[in-house]
Structure 1
Amino acid sequence: MELGNIGTAMVTPFSPDGTINYENTGKLLEHLIANGTDSIIVSGTTGESPTLTVTEKRELLDFVVKVVNKRVPVIAGTGTNNTAESIELTKAAELSGADGIMLVTPYYNKPDQKGMYAHFSAIAKETFLPILLYNIPSRSIVNLLPETVIALSEIANIKAIKEASGSLEQMAAIIEGTDDDFQVYSGDDSMTLPLLAIGGRGIVSVSAHVVGNEMQKMIKAFQNGQTKEAAKLHRALLPVFSALFSSPNPIPVKYALERLGIPIGGVRLPLIAMDASQSELIDLALENFSKTQSVAE
């Protein structure tokens, strides 16, 4: 599974009536492909997957695969806390022509490490698609430990992990314990450069919706040995990352996209729009970042 430097966890555009807006989804896809996105993840947390029906997930993936037309890989978020449903969604992803699937750690059920291994391995046996594991303890409560990831990496089609534990120590243990072709991606934008420094591959990003080109510049500077330049860009980007997570994801990034003239619409309940003070934080962060980059150029 090759996601490139940046996989973007795509937001789902909605119309005023709350339905998926496919016209704006097409516009968003073109924006992402033109602005630093190497691969697209559909129906992840940022895509408000908890509020998408199974039918909506299937139809959205069909549309994205068709519009992208192999220009970049498309990864389908098919993981749930129900193994049988995850397999059903994964089969649908195969039919859609997805290039891979992302499987989040089962939430709410609170399985132990053996349960998570059984869950992921059961899904892996039912598909030929490459698998990106997704560990996010802050949302799922459970933490997929390095030893479990290492064991899962021995399954042929489990190829990578999106690590959002926030622990560099945990990420390092996974990198150290897996084969070189197993890829570790950060699930936190602010951890992109630190993860690269310990041998990680890249980022599955939210902020790339807005600053994808600048994030690519940072990553490529690091890859080219320009570590001071990469660090400088990292420091400049941190306030943007922070602002885009100042309210529950994806509320801020949807606001930021609308601010940039990219029609996205609102969020579905139980998420609600930001108030004026929250939006001012994002305005300020983006304006300050724009100024710093203008000075740098």
Structure 2
Amino acid sequence: MAFPAPRPQAPRFPSQRLRTFPCGQGAVRAVRFNADGNYCLTCGSDKSLKLWNPHRGILLKTYSGHGYEVLDSAGSCDNSQICSCGADKTVILWDVATGQLVRKFRGHGGKVNCVQFNEESTVIVSGSIDTSIRCWDCRSRTSEPIQILNEAKDGISSVKVSDHEILSGSVDGRVRRYDLRMGQLFADFIGSPISSVCFSRDGQCSLSSSLDSTLRLLDKETGELLGDYTGHKNTEYKLDCCFNESDTHVVSGSEDGLVYFWDLVEGSCAVTLPVGKGVVQSLSYHPTQSCLLTASQGAVQLWGDESYEADTQSTS
């Protein structure tokens, strides 16, 4: 006798606002979870970079060394180092424990919009308004980039790095994927300036957000359009987009103060989160749990579902 297949569980959304904490950095340009999701980084218009325990709203350390506002940051795979970039055209490598500046990389001709570590955290990849992507060796004493990728015709707005690929979005309306093993470049023309890109967690697809208020899901290998997602507002600002922790939904900030979740397959809007009246410029999804960080109006908001809140309370 065959038993019926179990009914699939309903999707979980981080729909409860668990905490809001003002960062004291002016406008928060970016918020980023670290590799294991225990801490987060905030980048401010006051030239500072801050490390937080977002689950408690506790400031752990402040890193000061940029000459202008900090625009992006990322943590290393072992959480021992941080890289950051800013409008001062520099990329900085920090030691987490001491808060000291380890290296400062100069070479970009304009503000640096985005920064990422490679998988082993031995190379920093940065994208700039000067239309170039530059790769910096964290272990070398030279401050010269080990590689420059300058195929874009306009500023680089977003970069993401996998084990052997670099994904970039540009204001020229193209999503470019560099296969470092094969030495090949693949480009997909979107048409509208790209504000954010990311890989799906299974590595099969790429997601891009553009200034025509549309997110597009592309097959990474063929460039085929698998889905598009609309309903939010994105016509002026650089807004983050991402996948949730299980690749079932795509997520984006919006200029109307909401965060939108769309079903990956159906393309329908599943839920919206009312963050506030201002633009939700940055967001970061927890790597393994139904938990989301959003940044709006100088503050960071932590969102979770019922189970995540219970776990948090039980460890307090």
Question: Shorter-normalised TM-score: what interval?
Answer: 0.3 to 0.5
| TM-score normalised per structure 1 | 0.35
